[in-house]
Amino acid sequence: MTVATTDGDSIWVFRYSSEKSTNSLYYSSNIAQVRQLEVLNELGSDTRFIVSEPLRDLPGAWNEVPDGSWGLMRRGAHELQPFTPVSSA
């Protein structure tokens, strides 16, 4: 599973597979690099993207969320932590 959700201020992302083969998940942290995409050059400095694959090769623009992780992105900060679901058994 790869999931992203937001409350309008923060974005939570999750990437996990019990088979260790989830689809990729990336987030942006350097909006100056993303602005090199012409249609996105007017974005604010706190803009973040969550994408399944990088939108072009822009050095420093994309950070992969490691498999088995969750992340929290908010204004001026981001963090990634290991994610392991709790067994219901």
What is the full per-residue pLDDT of the chain (89 aa) written as tens digits?
A: 888 899 988 999 988 888 777 678 777 766 666 666 655 666 666 677 777 887 777 777 787 888 889 999 888 888 999 987 787 76
Amino acid of residue 74: R
Q: Can you tell me whether residue 87 is helix, strand or coil?
A: coil
CA 83 to CA 67: how far, in whole Å?
9
Predicted TM-score (pTM) of this structure:
0.66
Residue 82: both structure tokens together: 């290991």
Residue 78's DSSP bridge partners are 73
Asked if 1 contacts 14 with a C-beta cutoff of 8 angstroms, the reply is yes
